[in-house]
Amino acid sequence: MNIFDKSFSPSEAQVRYLDADYVVLRPGSFVRCAITGVPIALDELTYWNVDRQEPYANADAAHEAYKRYGISSR
């Protein structure tokens, strides 16, 4: 995937979040933060919740999700 290609069109990926990794189910270049809605490039994805299957743009968004939903039990 070449982002400098004029025909490149960003698309949202579908991802399965695991404990220390994730699996791309449908290829794409980004996912959307569950709290802020901002796009997160897959190569910059650092924060997610396995139980809720949600990505977060940054630590602040992950903390906001924690405040909203608390610790989920496994």
**2, pLDDT greater than 90:** no
pLDDT in tens, 21-38: 999 999 999 999 999 999
User: Position 6: which residue type?
Assistant: K
Name the DSSP letter for residue 62.
H
Confidence check: pLDDT of 73 > 60: no
- pLDDT at position 10 is 83
* Per-residue pLDDT, 3: 52
Q: How many Cα atoms within 13 Å fall on the side-chain side of residue 74? A: 5
Percent of the chain with pLDDT over 90: 78
Phi, psi for 35 (deg, rounded to 5)? -95, -50
